Amino acid sequence: MPRPQKPGSPLRARFRLAATGAVLALAGCGGDIAIVHQFPVPLIEPLPAHVGVYFEDDIRYFQFMDKTSDGATWSVDFGDANIRMLNNVLGAMFSETTEVGDPSLTTDALPGLDAIIAPKIVEYAFLTPAEQGSKFFAVSIRYRLDVHQPDGTLTGSWLVNAYGKSRSQLLQGAESLAEATRFAMRDAAAALSEQYKDRPELAALYPEEESDHEHDENGDHIPAATSEVPQEGPESSAGE
Amino acid sequence: MPASSTAPRWRRAVTVAAAAATLSGTLGGCVVSRVEESREAVARVAQDESIVILVRRQSVQSETEEGFTECVRDFMERGAVDLNVGGEDAFLDALFPWFEPRLAPTSADALPELMELPGVRERIAESGVRYLVWVDGQTEVTGGGGNISCSIGTGGAGCLGLQWWDNDSTYKASIWDLKFAESAGTISSEATGTSYLPAVVIPIPLIARTKAAACKGLAQQLEDFFQVETS
């Protein structure tokens, strides 16, 4: 038999519910976060190369869940934010990019590619203001870009550590964490944009500097240092 | 009847709380503010040019509150001087990644090199931004003391005591001229004050609004700093 309700009970119940919600919110009980932000296209000069980009499911559907030391549970759903950010950066970095879906990374079916890049998230971590004794959420993300030659051989891996922070707002911890994550992803994009012209993994894609080289009568490149002296042997003109 | 006896008590409590809120809003703590300017060049702004206020985000442990730059921007937009104040996000996205914390120049000496990067000068010209105002600083509680005790019983609830704390708002704006790739000057705005929380039954906060004072001082000085060309 249902218990008869006393007059005023619904109000009391609502008050109790609101009070419980407020206490839980004040206690910092975590939250569910979706990264829905847009990322700008970097203002950089593209390398003249056609690069394939392969996104594994791990980065395509990256999600993170953690329970912090204060007992709060946080979940971060990146959605397609990593894909959007990396497509913008890699699209600006190379004159042409093509997303490839073949995990075998062989170019038999993908003619014309100069390299294939497979980005991954190695680590995502954050600290709450309570954990680090500050007013900020701090986020760190480590990306790894595996660079493959057209025949599938791994040329090298490019590690990027990125960092973001956002001031904690009262009762808006989830928004602050999302903002810190956005800043960390922007920092990763900035790091990639800064470093791409100096990476040994991408050296094969760099254009030959016209200032350092001249051409012989066949159109082949000759190092500038040797172009002004007589060619005395095969070793002096070799190397191109 | 219990209902009729509690009603006036609630009414009295609401009246006292409203009076306390009014008193708190009217009085407030005492604030001392100071603004200093160092001008390196005459900062002329054409009517089709704008300025952008950016937050310095390089420090790991501190960062200017977003509300502070919004306050300065709002104050300048409402001010008597007809200045175009552009949005921070739009500028950062247009020049991405060159003004991100990792890569942003920390002094105006680095501007000429930045301008030589592919597309940067053209993109800045397209945006119409002539001056950057880098804001750095924050508001901190530097000290305090006192004690308040509150109790609750069948006859009601109440507090007794006094608490106080010192607020220090220190901000600095560095102004860079993007057209000539040089520093135009700096403005620093500082406000200090002590907030009080006396409690006689009801606590009445008397807040020293140092951040608001520093914002107003900085915004007014920035308005004076720029000369808007009318022709």
pLDDT reported for residue B22: 57
Residues A39, A185: contact at Cβ < 8 Å? yes
Sequence letter at residue A5: Q
Centre a 10 Å sphere on the Cβ of residue A17 and count the other Cβ atoms it contains. 10
Q: Enumerate residue ranges in chain A where pLDDT < 50.
A: 1-15, 17-27, 210-240
Cβ of A165 and B94 within 8 Å? no
Distance from the B61 Cα atom to the nearest Cα atom in chain A, whole angstroms:
7
* Nearest residue in B to A44, CA atom: B118
Cβ of B93 and A191 within 8 Å? no
Residues A53, A119: contact at Cβ < 8 Å? yes
Tokens for A60, please give them. Answer: 């395509």
Q: How would DSSP label each residue in B97-152? A: TTTSTTT--SSGGGHHHHHTSTTHHHHHHHHTEEEEEEEEEEEEEEEEEEEEEEEE
Tell whether omega for the bond before A46 is within 30 degrees of 0, i.e. cis: no
Interface of A with B in 90-149 (CB under 8 A): 134, 136
What is the CA angle B160-B164-B165, rounded to 5? Answer: 150
- What angle do the packed helices B210-225 and B66-78 form, to 10 degrees? 50
* Nearest residue in A to B123, CA atom: A43
Cβ-nearest to A186 among B94, B100, B118: B100
Cβ of A167 and B120 within 8 Å? no
**Distance between CA B9 and CA B169 in Å, rounded?**
41
Interface check A190 vs B, CB under 8 A:
yes
* A:B CB pairs within 8 Å: 49
Cβ of B94 and A136 within 8 Å? no
Q: What is the 3 state secondary structure string of A39-106? A: CCCCCCCCEEEEEEECCCHHHHCCEEEEECCCCCEEEEECCCHHHHHHHHHHHHHEEEEEECCCCCCC
Chain B environment of A167 (Cβ under 8 Å): 63, 65-66
**Distance between CA B3 and CA B193 in Å, rounded?**
46
pLDDT reported for residue B192: 96
Chain B environment of A168 (Cβ under 8 Å): none
**Distance between CA B194 and CA B166 in Å, rounded?**
4
Q: Enumerate residue ranges in chain B where pLDDT < 50.
A: 1-5
Coil, helix or strand for A171?
coil
Chain B environment of A134 (Cβ under 8 Å): 61
Chain A environment of B101 (Cβ under 8 Å): 183, 187
Interface check B117 vs A, CB under 8 A:
yes
Among the listed residues B91, B99, B172, the one whose alpha carbon sits nearest the alpha carbon of residue B135: B172
**Distance between CA A170 and CA B136 in Å, rounded?**
22
HSE value, Cβ hemisphere, 13 Å, CA-based, for B30: 1
Distance from the A45 Cα atom to the nearest Cα atom in chain B, whole angstroms:
7
**Distance between CA A79 and CA B128 in Å, rounded?**
35
Cβ-nearest to B97 among A45, A165, A193: A193
**Distance between CA A188 and CA A194 in Å, rounded?**
10
Coil, helix or strand for B9?
helix
Enumerate residues 6+ apart whose C-beta is below 8 A from A220: A240
Across the beta sheet with A30-34, the strand order is: A30-34, A73-77, A63-67
Cβ of B63 and A43 within 8 Å? no
Tokens for B79, please give them. Answer: 């001010």
Cβ of A167 and B63 within 8 Å? yes
**Distance between CA A188 and CA A121 in Å, rounded?**
11
Centre a 10 Å sphere on the Cβ of residue B124 and count the other Cβ atoms it contains. 21
Q: ipTM more than 0.90? A: no
Interface check B126 vs A, CB under 8 A:
no
What is the CA angle B33-B39-B42, rounded to 5? Answer: 130
**Distance between CA A176 and CA B66 in Å, rounded?**
12
Residues B205, B228: contact at Cβ < 8 Å? no
| Element counts in chain A: helices (H) and strands (E) | 7, 10
Interface check A42 vs B, CB under 8 A:
yes
First-residue to last-residue Cα distance in chain B: 78
pLDDT reported for residue A109: 61
Sequence letter at residue B62: S
Distance from the A60 Cα atom to the nearest Cα atom in chain B, whole angstroms:
23
Cβ of A136 and B103 within 8 Å? no
Which of B153-169 are b and which e, b meaning 16 or more Cβ less than 10 Å from the residue's Cβ?
Answer: eeeeeebeeebbbbbbb
Tokens for A153, please give them. Answer: 């051989």
Residues A199, A112: contact at Cβ < 8 Å? no
Interface check B118 vs A, CB under 8 A:
yes
Interface of A with B in 193-222 (CB under 8 A): 193-194
What is the CA angle B26-B32-B34, rounded to 5? Answer: 135
Enumerate residues 6+ apart whose C-beta is below 8 A from B187: B35, B36, B37, B38, B172, B173, B175, B218, B221, B222, B225
Cβ-nearest to A190 among B60, B63, B102: B102
Chain B environment of A8 (Cβ under 8 Å): none
Distance from the A90 Cα atom to the nearest Cα atom in chain B, whole angstroms:
14
Max distance between CA atoms of chain B, in angstroms, equals 84
Coil, helix or strand for A10?
helix
B99, B100, B103, B126: best to mutate for the A interface, most A CBs within 10 A: B100
**Distance between CA A240 and CA B3 in Å, rounded?**
99
Enumerate residues 6+ apart whose C-beta is below 8 A from A199: A147, A156, A158
Cβ of B96 and A194 within 8 Å? no
